[in-house]
Structure 1
Amino acid sequence: MTLDALKIPETPVCAAALEVAVAYCSPALLNHSVRAYIWAAAYGEAQGIAFDPELLYVGSMFHDIALMPEFDNHTAGFDVASGHVAWVFGAGAGWPVTRRRRLVEVVISHMLDSVDVAADPEGHLLERSTSMDISGRHMDDFSAPFKAEVLRRYPRLGIAEEFLACFRDQAVRKPDSSPAASLRDNIAERILANQLDRTG
């Protein structure tokens, strides 16, 4: 597979989701969000997993949006707060309530240890892709040339340090949040050891 062979869904909703991500995400977080979709969709296609490209793309654009100050929630963890932002976006896009709920499920599920592919294929794919991009899991999902191609197009721009700083900030202010739990589970070591930061 090549990056050019992977199709980004060309819908007005996807275009609007990217516009929001560009407006609010840092450059590193924006590239991470795009890579999250690429890894997820490429893996889904390679494994023959049927998924909704638009739902997966919008979920990828919004899964970390509440790490940004404009959407930070003073009590809820970023994953839950990102789900709220995504729900509001979906309402503005005219999505029915059932599709908005699915979007929230996909966004929140990316912080779970695993997601049942049969019950939630988009959540499964996003959990797997974000785990690879941030903490270096599932590194064997793709060939070295494909990973290098993706990173040339969408460089990491210091995402490991930026993401870890956000998680530490969230953990201090929200000790019951998923970032706090992840830090207790030594995610910091995995983030800083991610092989993608050594792929050239």
Structure 2
Amino acid sequence: MSTDPRTIAGVGIPDSTMAQAATELVRDAETELLYHHSRRVFLFGALTGERRGVTYDAELLYIGAMFHDIGLMDAHASPNERFEVDGANAARNFLQSYGLPERDVDDVWDSIALHTTPGIPKHKRSTVSLVAAGVEMDVLGIGFEEFTSKQRNDVCACHPRGLKFKQGILSSFCMGTIRKPETTFGNIKADVLSKMDPTYRRTDFTEAVLASKWTT
């Protein structure tokens, strides 16, 4: 059973049977770095929703946040799907085992599948938009100044970033995609492999268009 606090930075951590099971599953499956990152994503997403006056389902937001990077782990990785899709599929299987409505399952699936696709999640329902907002805050610092220093400190006191989080999260992205580089076509993980894998060659969209079998 998790011993993490039930309230962090004023945000209650969902503690239903399903939420507890998700916590234990992700904690067992992921590295410490990814586990703490996922919890921070939930907290920053929830704080964003409260600041914006957005109505959201805390439990769905929690599941989306907790599962959003699980596709980086070998046990949950497919040979040829984007890691975001692998994570979304893992969350869908988990939620379906609890009999959740299809719309809720779809929202969580979208929140994970789209969390690295800038410009789209903010137009979707709150589970999707707030998971993305939490990821953007924790990884890129987007909206950093919109959180109080106390909120940031409280979140990181319970779920520390560590001294080398930036390099660590990039390494996690690299290791989760390096064996299937074709899945980075058209998405931001191409930037990661370009920097971290000397054998990687980015697929260029314009080259792909010009090289197609069409004659004109």
Tell me the TM-score normalized by structure 2. 0.77
Q: Which residue of 2 is the match for residue 31 of structure 1?
A: 36
Structure ID, larger Rg: 2
- Structure 1 residue 103 corresponds to structure 2 residue 111: no
Deviations 1:93-136 (A, max 9, x none): 22233322222111112111034546321111111110111122
Q: Distance in 1 between matches of 2:131 and 2:194?
A: 20
Q: Distance in 2 between matches of 1:19 and 1:148?
A: 24
Could you list the runs of 5+ residues in structure 2 that have no partner in the other structure?
1-6, 196-216
Could you list the runs of 5+ residues in structure 1 that have no partner in the other structure?
190-200
Q: Distance in 2 between matches of 1:146 and 1:8?
A: 15
Deviation of the 1:23 alpha carbon:
1.0
Deviations 1:70-93 (A, max 9, x none): 112211111010011011101112
The match for 2:148 among 143, 149, 156 is 143
The residue type equivalent to 1:159 in the other structure is F
- Structure 1 residue 169 corresponds to structure 2 residue 136: no
Q: Distance in 1 between matches of 2:47 and 2:97?
A: 29
- Structure 1 residue 16 corresponds to structure 2 residue 15: no
1:43-192 correspondence to structure 2 within 5 Å: 43-115=48-120, 117=122, 119-157=124-162, 158-178=164-184, 181-185=187-191
Per the alignment, do residues 129 and 93 of structure 1 end up closer, same or farther by CA in structure 2, a change over 3 Å counting? Answer: same
Q: Which deviates the most, 137-146 or 32-41?
A: 137-146
The residue type equivalent to 2:171 in the other structure is A
Q: Distance in 1 between matches of 2:101 and 2:184?
A: 28
CA contact (8 A) 1:64 1:79 kept: yes
Deviation of the 1:152 alpha carbon:
1.4
More helix by share: 1
Deviation of the 1:7 alpha carbon:
1.2
The residue type equivalent to 2:141 in the other structure is G
CA contact (8 A) 1:44 1:125 kept: yes
- Structure 1 residue 40 corresponds to structure 2 residue 45: yes
Moved over 4 A (4+): 183-189
Q: Which deviates the most, 143-152 or 36-45?
A: 143-152
